[in-house]
Amino acid sequence: MQQYLISNLAKKTQLSTDTVRFYEKKKLIRSSYRADNNYKYYDDETLKRLIFIKRCRALDMTLHEITQLLEHLQHPEQGCKIIDQLIEEHIRHVETRIYELQHFKSQLHELRQSCSSNTTIDHCQIVKKLEASE
């Protein structure tokens, strides 16, 4: 089994060493052992788990959602319906976020339309609206 220093693990996963340390602090991964030189070494399973975490984060999953998935992976004999439910819940979260972002986009377009570009900043309606106390 291959052993990696944190720098090698970071390079293989294209994550920063700080990110790897963060995931370790959050107990999502752990080192295999600490050598006499006080360096931590990580194994192939940790590499595999980091890739899994990175893919989950790329889908905007929270650390809580990832933790739940990882906990379920500890029981491979279970039916995968629980995983389906977690993903369905995440889809709802993403749909809510999309709705919120579309609303923000509309607000920004409205704000942008309120300004005449041929004025000065001290007369800019965007700034005035952002400063206004409603």
Partnered with residue 73 across adjacent β-strands are: none
Structure confidence at residue 18 (pLDDT): 97
Structure confidence at residue 33 (pLDDT): 82
Look at residue 35 and give its three-state secondary structure. Answer: coil
> What is d(CA 104, CA 101) in angstroms, rounded to the nearest whole number?
5
Rg (CA), the chain: 23
Those residues of the chain that have pLDDT short of 50 are: none
Structure confidence at residue 35 (pLDDT): 83
Name the DSSP letter for residue 108: H
Amino acid type, 112? R
Structure confidence at residue 49 (pLDDT): 96
Q: In a 10 Å sphere around its CB, with 0-12 CB exposed, 13-18 middle and 19+ buried, how is residue 9 labelled? A: buried
